[in-house]
């Protein structure tokens, strides 16, 4: 834990810049996640010199000058960096979910952020069309979904279970040309068919230096069934921007066993030397999925020392106890989570499952009322309501 403490000041300095970069790209979930960790951090953590970690590779948007870590005004992601009107328009249109207007507005922009926004808008447009069951004539065959602004999907009530985002093959080829090359410097998107668009020998792939483009490439590769390529892309993205939670989160379902998780975690600890706790957040989340609950709880206990008021860490604790079928302990952990942030809906569906098993009708009724007051259209709210109706 002392190792986690010694780099907390690093987090305080760079988290705001990273969150702003994510907000600019429409990755609001990851930005909120990073800032909620900062709010929930131990304010008494010892502030110690950390510049020695950055002599060779400062965090994005920063530079080391005369032994001090300061913002790099020349970096496009630094706070206060100049922005073109077209890029500002593209950001606004993505936030308004006017995806095709966003693509059109950025057609003459060449910055990494503009390229990301164009391809992300393209991806989200395909997710929306798939969810609505619109036939675009595109290729594809995986499950449909209701997309959020970071690519995760909930089951759609209207799309066929055999459908998928119709633009995935085209986006995969386009991004392959931009962000990834093989050992002979050939772009991965040079192939004329979807199967040729990606090099399956992942050891030969090298990636672009923009973590957001690399994450998006990994997301599309994952949705296309290319798990190994996706894992390498996600790992590369978080090595460049450790606070990009979308990449960590999207890597979790691709981890198949504890040995693979340990190998990934060890490699990324060497890359994320200034934020080692981020790797523990990833391993704790993955271990819950893998059923490695004692190891997950050990990770959570370490993290809780540094982030005693962080809702996400408390959520992980509650989910560990719920997965272990320690229902009373899980209930108390979820109640503490609610005390930290009573308007947070994440994992409230898991809480409702615990209350259902315990037969706590009064608690479930109160939770359902609170969730619908916050947002009646969230999937979690409807799961809670479903458990309540099942108990009546």
Segment 205-224 shows an average pLDDT of: 90
- Which pLDDT score is estimated for 57? 62
pLDDT tens digits, 12-71: 777 888 898 999 999 999 999 999 988 888 766 534 334 445 555 666 666 666 666 666
Evaluate whether 180 touches 207 at the Cβ level (below 8 Å). yes
**Strand ranges inside 158-280, DSSP E:** 180-181, 206-207
At 250 the three-state DSSP class reads helix
Token pair of 108, please? Answer: 């003459």
How far apart are the C-alpha atoms of 244 and 167, rounded to whole Å? 24
Residue 334 confidence (pLDDT) above 90: yes
Residue 197 confidence (pLDDT) above 50: no
Please identify which residue in the block is written with the tokens 């459908």: 163
**Strand ranges inside the chain, DSSP E:** 62-65, 68-71, 146-147, 153-154, 180-181, 206-207
Provide the residue count of the chain: 392
Angstrom CA distances, 124 to 89, 116, 206, 337, 349, stand at: 17, 12, 26, 31, 25
pLDDT tier at 104 (50, 70, 90 boundaries)? Answer: very high
pLDDT tier at 184 (50, 70, 90 boundaries)? Answer: very low
288-293: list long-range contacts, CB under 8 Å, 24+ apart: 288/316, 288/319, 288/320, 288/323, 289/252, 289/253, 289/255, 290/255, 290/257, 290/258, 290/261, 291/323, 292/258, 293/320, 293/323, 293/324
The enclosing H or E element of 157 equals none
- DSSP lists the bridge partners of residue 206 as 181
Residue 380 confidence (pLDDT) above 70: yes
Instruction: Return the DSSP state at 340.
Output: H
Residue 275 confidence (pLDDT) above 90: no
pLDDT tens digits, 202-213: 454 677 789 999
- Which pLDDT score is estimated for 156? 34
- Which pLDDT score is estimated for 255? 96
pTM: 0.82
- Which pLDDT score is estimated for 251? 97
Of all residues in the chain, what percent carry a pLDDT higher than 70? Answer: 72
């Amino acid at each position: 834990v002392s190792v986690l403490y010694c780099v907390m000041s690093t987090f305080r300095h760079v988290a705001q810049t990273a969150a702003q970069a994510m907000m600019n790209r429409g990755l609001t979930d990851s930005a909120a996640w990073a800032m909620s960790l900062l709010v929930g951090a131990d304010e008494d953590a010892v502030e110690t010199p950390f510049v020695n970690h950055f002599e060779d590779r400062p965090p994005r948007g920063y530079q080391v000058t005369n032994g001090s870590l300061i913002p790099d005004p020349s970096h496009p992601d630094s706070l206060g960096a100049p922005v073109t009107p077209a890029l500002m328009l593209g950001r606004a249109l993505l936030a308004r979910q006017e995806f095709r207007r966003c693509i059109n507005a950025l057609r003459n922009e060449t910055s990494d952020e503009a390229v990301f926004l164009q391809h992300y808008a393209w991806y989200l447009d395909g997710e929306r069309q798939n969810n609505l069951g619109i036939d675009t004539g595109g290729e594809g065959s995986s499950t449909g979904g209701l997309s959020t602004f970071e690519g995760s999907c909930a089951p759609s009530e209207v799309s066929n279970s055999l459908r998928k985002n119709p633009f995935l093959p085209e986006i995969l080829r386009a991004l392959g040309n931009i962000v990834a090359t093989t050992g002979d410097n050939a772009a991965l998107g040079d192939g004329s068919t979807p199967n040729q668009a990606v090099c399956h020998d992942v050891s030969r792939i090298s990636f672009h230096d923009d973590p957001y483009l690399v994450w998006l490439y990994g997301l599309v590769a994952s949705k296309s069934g290319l798990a190994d390529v996706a894992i390498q892309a996600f790992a590369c993205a978080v090595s460049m921007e450790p606070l990009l939670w979308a990449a960590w989160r999207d890597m979790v379902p691709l981890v198949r066993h504890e040995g693979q998780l340990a190998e990934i975690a060890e490699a990324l600890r060497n890359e994320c030397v200034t934020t080692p706790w981020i790797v523990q957040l990833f391993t704790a989340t993955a271990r819950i999925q893998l059923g490695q609950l004692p190891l997950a709880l050990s990770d959570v206990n370490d993290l809780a020392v540094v982030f005693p008021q962080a809702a996400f860490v408390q959520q992980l604790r509650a989910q560990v106890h719920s997965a272990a079928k320690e229902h009373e302990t899980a209930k108390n952990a979820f109640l503490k989570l609610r005390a930290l942030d009573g308007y947070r809906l994440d994992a409230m569906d898991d809480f409702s499952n615990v209350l259902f098993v315990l037969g706590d009708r009064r608690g479930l009724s109160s939770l359902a009322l609170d969730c619908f007051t916050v947002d009646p259209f969230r999937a979690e709210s409807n799961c809670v309501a479903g458990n309540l109706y099942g108990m009546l």
